[in-house]
Amino acid sequence: MKLPVQFGDVLGAYERIKDRIRKTPVLTSRSLNELTGSQLFFKCENFQRAGAFKYRGANNALLLLTREEMQRGVLTHSSGNHAAALALASRRLGIRAFIVMPRNAPAIKKQAVLDFGAEVVECEPTLEAREKTAAAVQEKTGAVFIHPYNNRQVIAGQGTAALELLREVGELDAVFAPVGGGGLLSGTAVVTRYLNPGAEVFGCEPANADDAYRSFHAGKLIPVRNPDTIADGLRTSLAPITFEMIRKLVSDILLVSEEDIVIAMRLLWERLKIVVEPSGAVPFAAALRHKEKFRKKRVGIILSGGNVDLEKMPFGREGSG
């Protein structure tokens, strides 16, 4: 099967970035296994540098630039995690970075981008506004555009999280990853289908931002419209490269409610004692909601990030856990 990104691309990315990224731990929990009836293996990308898996893809893309391209600087648009990852990776390589961010991006993510030395340009919170603003910045600066997910080098880098997971825990029955733009899910699917062909791969998505689910089942790209979800990292739409890969490699897209996400996030904080952001909690929310389907299965779950705005916690004394 000819795909835009092959397993060899992921292996090459891992060799390229392994000394720059953090090999994140895989955690297990007896109590969470009991809740779902499954054996769960949590790949904790919330411990990755810049707080999310995005640091993997950003590094791979930057390290493949020519010297002339590095001198021009880089540009992207992102609601937060790719922005911070590209900003940090750029700073470590001495590359100037321009980041277009929606006005409603979480404050903690915007501040991280600034702290890493990138230049932030705000825009309205729509994909059209992001793309138009990025085009204007690129025309002005000549910077190289690094798409947050519709980019083969980025996808190959994201796949290294699943590579580490499967090398550590062995064969699984299923692997869950959140899906927004689809870069992580695409990379995860490539690796899983190669190393563990008997496993199914599932994208996990908020019902309030269900473009991947609708696109997957319609067989054509359907952009997200007015996504209203606490999982801010998953408000983006699939793109041509990621849609092609997901259609060919992924078994299904599992939907969860906003309440499901909050419950899952709180359980991860309470039981695993780790900070996971709403987008990162979505795959575990899917394991809880669809637990009958995966009972007695070995399931890998990629917790994609841990960048939480503590001023806007979705639970507390009155929370729903």
Phi-psi region of 223 (alpha: psi -120 to 50; beta: other; left: phi over 0): beta
The answer to whether residue 314 scores a pLDDT higher than 90 is: no
Query: Residues near 256 by Cβ (< 8 Å), separated by ≥ 6?
Result: 204, 205, 206, 207, 264, 282, 285, 286, 289
Residue 316's pLDDT band (boundaries 50, 70, 90)?
A: low
Domain ranges of the chain: 7-52+153-312, 55-151
Tens digits of residue pLDDT in 226-252: 889 999 889 889 999 999 999 999 999
* CATH class of the region 55-151: alpha beta
- Position 318 scores a pLDDT of 47
Residues 185-226 pLDDT 10s: 999 999 999 999 999 999 999 999 999 999 999 999 998 888
Sequence-separated (6 or more) residues with CB below 8 Å from residue 67: none
Question: What confidence score (pLDDT) does residue 52 get?
Answer: 96
Tens-place pLDDT, residues 46-92: 999 999 999 999 999 999 999 999 999 999 998 788 999 999 999 99
pLDDT interval class at 321 (50, 70, 90): very low
The set of residues, in sequence order, having a beta carbon less than 8 Å from that of 153 and lying 6+ positions away, is: 13, 57, 60, 61, 64
Q: Which fold has domain 7-52+153-312?
A: Rossmann fold (3.40.50)
Common-topology check for domains 7-52+153-312 and 55-151 = yes
The whole-model pTM stands at 0.94
List the structure tokens of 163.
């590579």
Q: What is the pLDDT of residues 87-121, one digit of tens each?
A: 999 999 999 999 999 888 878 788 889 999 999 99
SS3 52: strand
Residue 6 C-alpha from the chain's centroid: 19
